[in-house]
Structure 1
Amino acid sequence: MDIHPDSSPALDPDLCRRARLARDPRFDGEFFLAVKTTGIYCRPICPARQPAEKNVSYYRLASQAAEAGYRPCLRCRPESAPGSPAWEGTSTTVKRAVRLIDAGALSEGRVADLAARLGIGERYLRKLFQQELGVSPQAVALNQRLLFAKKLLAETALPLTEVAFAAGFGSVRRFNSAVKTHFGLTPGDLRGSKTQVPEAGIRLQLQYRPPYDWPGVVDFLAHHAVDGVEAVSGDRYHRHFRTAAGTGAVAIRPLPGKHALELTLQLADNSQLMGLVGQLRRMFDLDANPAEIATRLQGDPVLAPLSERSPGARSPGHWSLYESAVRAIVGQQVSTAAARTVLSRLARACARGAIVTFPAAADVAALPDEHFPMPGRRRETLRTLCRQFAGREEELDLDTLAALTGVGPWTVGMVAVRGAGDPDVFPAGDLGLERTWAALPGSNGRLNDAAQRWRPWRSYAANLLWRSYTP
């Protein structure tokens, strides 16, 4: 048994051994095991025959196993594992870099561009990756593209050329070569002989660790849905969105009998597919570890009843950090229903044709005053944000948002939870949280003081309190 030297110190070999022997699903995505005798790496829940411990190496990231020369298992499909959590000891810069790579930052851009977005030099970024992960940024990106391509081959009927570009490869030749090198099989061999019927749109399974509180997630989405842009019908969420290539549509619903959501996408340009899947995983909080979160929150006597009533509670978000920022500014000091009305009005005023999407920054900035039914200061805050990030909404970050006039701690906190997916933020001064806390049996003291007990899962605690809020 080996522990990869660049893995997190928190990766306990004895715990990994017991978890894989038990095939404990709570550890799915927490680590990967590689088998020296077969040259394959697996998830800890793999149904294959258990290897001898002396032949096993443990890795925190799938990309580390791939860099060491191991191929992904064709049975447990490591590309379907829930995303690994943030690992102890890894710098915020590397964590943010990996998140950007997951969102497709290296599919079209260079490492130098990624480093510039992080505010550091390219050489220093490469050094950080080697020191903390033992692999290069390109290796992480390549492994991500390969695993996503494998997922597309297994779950869709997309032609091989479309799979190549959807997975972020610049050419079919590079795609074929990379697949052959890393999997030992051609793309056609990976797809196999099974018959797949082409259909309108793309269907994919988005796996998660169970349990998953779908009623809580869909209730949040319905409560915040912008009329004309989003809709919740039964157990299905649907929305339109706009990309540089045109409009698209997404629908998500639970997949019966599986620990997964079914994603259906209508997309003008499949090369953006991988980034959108990562975006939706964050929005639906599919990479959370519900067992670990529940252990912390159910240990609090006040929160325990709320947590027990909502097994698998998640911290759902909005489509993007930019969208979350617009929603939060519009929602300052007004009800959710009132904010939805304003947002729907803005969306329709900015619509380009019959399909309504969430308004782009440039379109909002160009609207005359009568389209902003809000106080003048709030209108100018919103306009300033939209002018500054017109055409580059994806570059907005929390620090820049916090520096805007008219943006306070509550707004930044809401965007951190809903737009950035931060698991440990408690929006200060939120009226709903304060009222719910005051009404709970056994609550005493200041809410912000109590919230310190819930770290590092304060965002989940906030969601439990919001779910219990009755105006």
Structure 2
Amino acid sequence: MATQDADCCYQAVLTRDSRFDGVFFVGVASTGIYCRTVCHARTPQRKNCTFYPSAAAAEQAGFRPCLLCRPELAPGHARIDAAGRLAAAVARRIEAGTFVEQRFETLAQELGVSPRHLRRVVRQEFGVAPIQLLQTHRLLLAKQLLTDTTLSIVDVAYASGFGSLRRFNRLFQERYRLQPTQLRKKKSAVGQDCIVSEVAYRPPLDWQALLSYLAGRAIAAVETVEANRYCRTVHIGQQRGWLSVEPANNRAALKVAISVSLVPVLLSVLSQVKALFDLAAEPQQIAAHLGAMAQQQPGLRVPGAFDSFEIAVRTIIGQQISVKAATTLMGRFVESFGEPMSTPSAQLTRLTPTAERVAQVKVSAIASLGIVEKRAKTIIALSQAIANQTLSLVPGGATEKTVSQLQTIPGIGPWTAQYIAMRVLADPDAFPYSDLGIRQALGETSPQRILAIAAPWQPWRSYAVMHLWKSLERKPVSDAVPVQSARATA
């Protein structure tokens, strides 16, 4: 953190400003620990404070994580500048458990930069090298699991991404000067069918708006929204299971219950939950930029994707039809090609089919479900591109390249590609300008004029889209866009 920013950082610490929670951390020389800006411990004196752009940088400087504010629970930081987005792409891979140091050159190539440049921007943004960022993320997740769950020490080590219990124990003791068992608050449970974790966000978060959006598009047998909770089936690699998400009591966090069968892929599960609910967003910054548009609902988020392929297929099926019709067709699609499974909920009985499975399906089999043959062909072409690894729908990657690749698939035009960029690629500036809902909200039909109107909203046009769609819901029924014509329904 630049020296000239130090006084501003300290002011955020004095006021416990949640806008900066996870954006930077404060190291306290008098205690040897580092904290979040929202920590409720006694405020340290300015002379004892130094500021770091990441938890990893604070630990590299010799500080240990605070046991009160728990830095492992801090929300992520959504960067929007070019260098920041590259660094954030690396952080996403680390968070999802898919980062491999030995394949760093491949990742750099995927992002369209040299490995040297990518390492430089990671250090510039986070204050440490990628491998140090990786180690800190694993250790902090382990700390969280040790504190909040009944998993054995061995399970915690492997769930956090460590390939060796010995290495985990050594790093934990070196970095935190604690034995892992010292963080245990509960005895190991026998027969427990799930673990519970928390993921934080910066308020405000319009949970009801998120839940309403997902409920209207919930896929039968895969997803349900019950009262104030979102539930779904999950398959990642060879692991199968389920999860539920609901607000935590009196905290800016979501409580995530995850079946124990998913512990081996816990990193990916938590990362995908954060993506689905857009938890890295900085809502006050976004609302300030969008101005009057965001005044009524400043906590509005862009719903992401727990399963990238699932949302991409749902988007194709939803082209030019209503939400209800698209949801019905997607339910049939899952019923026909999805793998059956058992969960504690009688409503969750199927997994979304994988790209590899759908790539082998005949066009006639998909068309027989009531899906237009042209779209059936598009779904298979998309599936084959993903299965053949010629297309990757990974959030935080090279969005422009991926959007261009999507549009080479027959049946995928700008609207579909931009909607996928919004929800699957987590691009904060995606803008499906041809959407009929956007046209209705703006009272414009000219693409050129719509793009000109939207120009001041950059780099947050995805959030502007959500506000535009919401504005239609607030209009009198007689003024609202007919459901069947709103391509925003996907």
TM-score where L is the length of structure 1: 0.88
Q: Distance in 1 between matches of 2:198 and 2:320?
A: 38
157-166 or 242-251, larger mean C-alpha shift:
242-251
Query: Displacement of 1:116 after TM fit?
Result: 5.2
1:435 aligned onto 2:440: yes
> Residue 281 of structure 1 corresponds to which residue in structure 2?
274
Once the two structures are superposed, the pairs formed by residues 276-355 of structure 1 within 5 Å of their partners are 276-297=269-290, 299-300=291-292, 303-304=293-294, 307-308=295-296, 310-354=297-341, 355=349
Deviations 1:56-95 (A, max 9, x none): 2111222221222221111111111111231656254333
Could you say what secondary structure the match of 1:268 adopts? helix
Query: Displacement of 1:413 after TM fit?
Result: 1.0
1:406 aligned onto 2:411: yes
> Residue 375 of structure 1 corresponds to which residue in structure 2?
372
Q: Distance in 2 between matches of 1:24 and 1:341?
A: 44
Q: Distance in 2 between matches of 1:457 and 1:408?
A: 22
Q: Distance in 2 between matches of 1:404 and 1:351?
A: 23
Q: Contact 1:327/1:343 (CA < 8 Å) preserved in 2?
A: yes
Could you say what secondary structure the match of 2:250 adopts? coil
> Residue 63 of structure 1 corresponds to which residue in structure 2?
56
> Residue 43 of structure 2 corresponds to which residue in structure 1?
50
Q: Contact 2:232/2:242 (CA < 8 Å) preserved in 1?
A: yes
Q: Distance in 2 between matches of 1:394 and 1:234?
A: 37
> Residue 399 of structure 2 corresponds to which residue in structure 1?
none
Q: Contact 2:240/2:262 (CA < 8 Å) preserved in 1?
A: no
Could you say what secondary structure the match of 1:12 adopts? helix
Query: Displacement of 1:126 after TM fit?
Result: 3.4
Structure 2 unaligned regions, length at least 5: 342-348, 395-401, 473-479, 483-490
Q: Distance in 2 between matches of 1:222 and 1:428?
A: 25
Structure 1 unaligned regions, length at least 5: 6-10, 440-444
Question: Would the alpha carbon gap of residues 134 and 82 (structure 1) be closer, same or farther in structure 2, given more than 3 Å must change?
Answer: closer
Q: Contact 1:322/1:394 (CA < 8 Å) preserved in 2?
A: no
Q: Contact 2:57/2:128 (CA < 8 Å) preserved in 1?
A: yes
Q: Distance in 1 between matches of 2:126 and 2:54?
A: 8
Q: Contact 2:83/2:121 (CA < 8 Å) preserved in 1?
A: no
136-145 or 367-376, larger mean C-alpha shift:
367-376
Query: Displacement of 1:323 after TM fit?
Result: 2.3
Question: Would the alpha carbon gap of residues 19 and 240 (structure 1) be closer, same or farther in structure 2, given more than 3 Å must change?
Answer: same
Q: Distance in 2 between matches of 1:200 and 1:109?
A: 35
Deviations 1:153-195 (A, max 9, x none): 111111111110110000111111111111110111122x555
> Residue 21 of structure 1 corresponds to which residue in structure 2?
14
* Matched letter for residue 448 of structure 1: L
Among candidates 359, 363, 374, match of residue 357 of structure 2: 363
* Matched letter for residue 379 of structure 2: L
Could you say what secondary structure the match of 1:106 adopts? coil
Q: Contact 1:106/1:138 (CA < 8 Å) preserved in 2?
A: no
Q: Contact 1:232/1:238 (CA < 8 Å) preserved in 2?
A: yes
1:455 aligned onto 2:450: no
Query: Displacement of 1:227 after TM fit?
Result: 1.1
Q: Distance in 2 between matches of 1:414 and 1:201?
A: 34
Q: Distance in 2 between matches of 1:320 and 1:271?
A: 18
Query: Displacement of 1:110 after TM fit?
Result: 4.5
Query: Displacement of 1:352 after TM fit?
Result: 2.6
Among candidates 418, 422, 430, match of residue 417 of structure 1: 422
Q: Distance in 2 between matches of 1:102 and 1:196?
A: 26
Q: Contact 1:31/1:84 (CA < 8 Å) preserved in 2?
A: no
Once the two structures are superposed, the pairs formed by residues 180-191 of structure 1 within 5 Å of their partners are 180-191=173-184
Question: Would the alpha carbon gap of residues 89 and 428 (structure 1) be closer, same or farther in structure 2, given more than 3 Å must change?
Answer: closer
Q: Distance in 2 between matches of 1:393 and 1:102?
A: 24
Deviations 1:248-276 (A, max 9, x none): 11111122322221111114242210121
Among candidates 265, 272, 286, match of residue 272 of structure 1: 265
Could you say what secondary structure the match of 1:468 adopts? helix
Q: Contact 1:204/1:264 (CA < 8 Å) preserved in 2?
A: yes
Could you say what secondary structure the match of 1:459 adopts? helix
Q: Contact 1:4/1:59 (CA < 8 Å) preserved in 2?
A: no
* Matched letter for residue 67 of structure 1: Q
TM-score where L is the length of structure 2: 0.85
1:153 aligned onto 2:146: yes
Q: Distance in 2 between matches of 1:401 and 1:424?
A: 17
Could you say what secondary structure the match of 1:261 adopts? strand
Identity in percent: 38
Question: Would the alpha carbon gap of residues 422 and 248 (structure 1) be closer, same or farther in structure 2, given more than 3 Å must change?
Answer: same
* Matched letter for residue 365 of structure 1: A
87-96 or 48-57, larger mean C-alpha shift:
87-96
Q: Distance in 2 between matches of 1:393 and 1:146?
A: 34
> Residue 468 of structure 2 corresponds to which residue in structure 1?
465
Q: Contact 2:199/2:274 (CA < 8 Å) preserved in 1?
A: yes
Question: Would the alpha carbon gap of residues 266 and 392 (structure 1) be closer, same or farther in structure 2, given more than 3 Å must change?
Answer: farther
